[in-house]
Amino acid sequence: MAHRFEPPMPELARYRFEHRTRNSEQDDGNKENSTSDLAKYVKAAAPNATRMQVSHGEYPVARGKKYWESMQMFMNAYYRPSGTLIMELDSHYLIPDDGIEMTVHMSSLSFVWNECSNDALKLMKLQCSTLQEVTIHSIDTDDLSSLLLDDNGTVVTYPYLLNLTLDGQAGMEVTNRLEFEDAVPFPRLVKLNANIIYPFGDDVLFRGNSGSLEELSLNFDYATATIINRANVFTPGKYKKLKTVDIRSFIEDIDNCDKQVKHHMKLLQGVASTTKKLLIRDIDISQSFLEILPKSRLFKDIHTLCLNEIHLGLVDILEILTALSALQFLESGLVELVATTNSIGIHDLDTLCRKYSMINKCFYKWRVPQESIISVESGAQYAVILAMLCPRFRIIQLPDQHKPEYFEKVKHYMNGPYFLKYPNVQNRLLSIKSEYDCCV
């Protein structure tokens, strides 16, 4: 396997390579020599790299002692005594045989669940003392006991793990929920994403990290919601650093839908005092959230709100802006405004200005999801109304297909006789066209 030598790149921190074997029957010795050559090449080309992405193409790799030792040589090209290695693996893993000592410490591990996943979990446990980030995609089993247990049945602790993502597959059934009494496997967790899968019978993922957790993303069923609430995981004031909460839900038992929504609302109310960014990706939870919002001061510090599965009308918007005085950014669908003429009703606007004038001095942007359907006329009218009521409001970011027309419609409405006496509003809405054209 020949490599073209290039001058050293000491500033390079990330380096990606793909090791392909043309003949899947190639003997291990050639593979080992090939990898050794590659190690020398990378060490010369990128001596300061700290991230390694390993891909072995379509063929499984050998896992013998010599092969692993040659891979160790490659990994050593990245190793710095003062730092750790970030390693991303494809579907074929390099797991050392028993008795082979690892000399490189990994800080990050990401892999897709498949028939080799037990080996990947073994690698996780070997590196548990240095890992800071773990991502497991497409989990199709609830048997994740080996994530937390070693071969002797002792709980494995990940003392420096900051980010954990467990990404399950839709439709999988959890039947094997293990409990871990008093175990604290993730004491410093900062970011937790449990998507569809929570294969534990207690609150083990949340223990010991109430003082460190800052971002939480949960997508779970009624059974999991019941477990978490029974353990009183999210009691008010417990998570003092939690700033971002992303809540989704999937309904397996329609009879328990109302109970499941109540569980989610209990969770939201428990973390409301510190939450700054709230994403709700469920129509029933969104509706319950909107129902309690006018009567609650719990969510007063939220500056970003995303309600992706719901469409809001003008009254809904004004109620949200009244209740959330710190809100700066909102994302949701919009209900079409009924327009019988080619301009906004002046009488209605006068009434709105008297009732809601300056209701929110922070709100500046609304984004409509790409998949939402709304006319550019309604989007422009919403923009004008909100600009009249909110002194910082600047833009409604509509789906891409409406960008060319949006400012023309806004300008059309602002040129009406009623709005000419508000040049500051017109300037706010029209002065950011170049910024809007670049929005994604």
pLDDT, one tens digit per residue, over 120-135 is 787 788 888 888 889 8
User: Residue 88: what pLDDT?
Assistant: 53
Residue 192 has pLDDT above 90, yes or no: yes
Average pLDDT of the segment spanning 35-61: 56
The pLDDT-based confidence of 343 (bands split at 50, 70, 90) is very low
Tokens of 61: 């790799």
- Specify whether the CB–CB gap between 225 and 201 falls below 8 A: no
**Residue predicted with more confidence, 116 or 213:** 213
What residues does 312 pair with on adjacent strands? 334
User: Residue 51: what pLDDT?
Assistant: 59
User: Residue 377: what pLDDT?
Assistant: 85
How many angstroms separate the CA atoms of 153 and 180, rounded? Answer: 11
- Specify whether the CB–CB gap between 358 and 389 falls below 8 A: yes
pLDDT, one tens digit per residue, over 277-303 is 999 988 888 999 999 888 888 888 999
User: Residue 12: what pLDDT?
Assistant: 43
- Specify whether the CB–CB gap between 86 and 50 falls below 8 A: yes
For the chain, the structural domain boundaries read: 1-77, 303-440
Nearest to 80 by CA among 58, 41, 106: 106
Nearest to 155 by CA among 204, 217, 118, 109: 204
Residue 216 has pLDDT above 90, yes or no: yes
Nearest to 302 by CA among 362, 217, 234, 262: 362
User: Residue 223: what pLDDT?
Assistant: 81
Average pLDDT of the segment spanning 82-102: 49
Query: Of 15-19, 276-280, 310-314, 413-417, where does the model show the most confidence?
Result: 276-280
Handedness of CA 300, 304, 310, 316 (dihedral sign): positive
User: Residue 257: what pLDDT?
Assistant: 78
How many angstroms separate the CA atoms of 71 and 56, rounded? Answer: 12
- Specify whether the CB–CB gap between 425 and 388 falls below 8 A: yes
Residues 6+ apart with CB under 8 A from 221: 174, 249, 250, 251, 252, 260
User: Residue 92: what pLDDT?
Assistant: 45
User: Residue 297: what pLDDT?
Assistant: 81
**Residue predicted with more confidence, 284 or 46:** 284
Residue 14 has pLDDT above 70, yes or no: no
The pLDDT-based confidence of 363 (bands split at 50, 70, 90) is very high
**Residue predicted with more confidence, 117 or 341:** 117
User: Residue 326: what pLDDT?
Assistant: 94
User: Residue 358: what pLDDT?
Assistant: 75
The pLDDT-based confidence of 42 (bands split at 50, 70, 90) is low
User: Residue 385: what pLDDT?
Assistant: 86
Predicted TM-score of the model (pTM): 0.79
The pLDDT-based confidence of 9 (bands split at 50, 70, 90) is very low
Query: Of 32-41, 47-56, 345-354, 391-400, where does the model show the most confidence?
Result: 391-400
Q: What is the mean pLDDT of the chain?
A: 76
Residue 183 has pLDDT above 80, yes or no: yes
User: Residue 209: what pLDDT?
Assistant: 94
The pLDDT-based confidence of 66 (bands split at 50, 70, 90) is low
Residue 397 has pLDDT above 90, yes or no: no
Residue 15 has pLDDT above 90, yes or no: no
**Angle, alpha carbons 343-344-349 (nearest 5°):** 155
Residues 6+ apart with CB under 8 A from 357: 389
User: Residue 351: what pLDDT?
Assistant: 77
The pLDDT-based confidence of 4 (bands split at 50, 70, 90) is very low
pLDDT, one tens digit per residue, over 301-328 is 999 999 988 899 888 898 899 999 999 9
State the distance between the two ends of the chain, measured CA to CA, in whole angstroms: 43
Tokens of 313: 């009308």
